[in-house]
Structure 1
Amino acid sequence: MKKVDHIGIAVHSIEESLSFYNETLQLPLIKMEEVQSEGVKVAFIDGGNIKLELLEPLHNESAIAKFLQKKGEGIHHIAFGIEKIQDRINELKQNGVRMIHDKPKPGAGGAEVAFMHPKSAYGVLFELCDKTNIKGE
């Protein structure tokens, strides 16, 4: 793992929560987008040495909607910045780590992502985030 790339935070409404991050904490918004494959709207916040990713469900069937129903708003995942995502997935699986995704899928900002199952990571949902194919990253 190269670094912690971002921390994902589930929210019911980005619009409602954004003022807390922008005005109260004075952390600037980097960008917003929708990730249709995950059924979420995301907002990246500049936390200085790390990004915060606010995650709002686009529909009730998204993983974020289910998370919010079960646990409420709060930290959803921690994302590691990596390279060669498929190699890393294979290595983790060889070391007994259960993966939610055996192959990378499109994530926010054009990154390739895959998630480790929390049961293999002591209750933490970790995301592998490969941005090597994105210009400027």
Structure 2
Amino acid sequence: MNRVDHIGIAVSSIEHVLPFYEQTLGLKLLKLEEVSSQGVKVAFIDGGNIKLELLEPLHKESPVAKFIEKKGEGIHHLAFGVQGIEERISELRDKGVNMINETPKQGAGGAMVAFMHPKSSHGVLYELCDKTNIKEDHA
């Protein structure tokens, strides 16, 4: 793991919570994007030393919608920046970690992503986020 890339926060409505981040906390919106493969609308917020990723479900079957239904809005995942995501997945599996994604999927900003199952990581949902093939880090 190279670094913490971002913290994912599940929200019911980006439009509703964005004023808190921008006006109350004084943080800057970097980008809005839909990630259909994950069933979410995403807002990246510049948190200074780390990005915050607000995740709004696009439909009721989205994993984020199910998370909000079960646990409510709040911290959803912690993402680690990695290089060579396929090799990281293999290394983690060799160490007994169950992966939600056995192969990487396209994520926000063009990154390739894969999630570890929280049962293998003491209740925390971790994301591997590989931006190696992205020419510019948009988010």
Say if 2:120 is the partner of 1:120: yes
Q: Percent identity?
A: 71
CA distance in 2, matches of 1:71, 1:96: 27
What code does the residue aligned with 1:80 have?
Answer: F
What code does the residue aligned with 2:83 have?
Answer: E
Aligned partner of 1:58 in structure 2 is: 58
Aligned length: 137
The runs of 5 or more residues in structure 1 that have no matched partner are: none
Aligned partner of 1:39 in structure 2 is: 39
| 1:18-41 C-alpha deviation (Å, 9 max, x unpaired) | 000000000000000000001100
CA distance in 1, matches of 2:61, 2:99: 21
CA distance in 2, matches of 1:86, 1:117: 16
Aligned partner of 1:133 in structure 2 is: 133
CA distance in 2, matches of 1:19, 1:133: 33
CA distance in 2, matches of 1:120, 1:66: 20
Structure-to-structure mapping, 1:4-43, within 5 angstroms: 4-43=4-43
Displacement of 1:136 after TM fit?
2.2
Spell out structure 1 runs of 4+ moving beyond 4 A. none
1:99 match: secondary structure = coil
Aligned partner of 1:102 in structure 2 is: 102
CA RMSD of aligned residues (A): 0.5
The runs of 5 or more residues in structure 2 that have no matched partner are: none
TM-score (norm 1): 0.99
CA distance in 2, matches of 1:117, 1:69: 19
What code does the residue aligned with 1:83 have?
Answer: Q
What code does the residue aligned with 1:111 have?
Answer: A
| 1:50-91 C-alpha deviation (Å, 9 max, x unpaired) | 000000000000000000000000000000000000000000
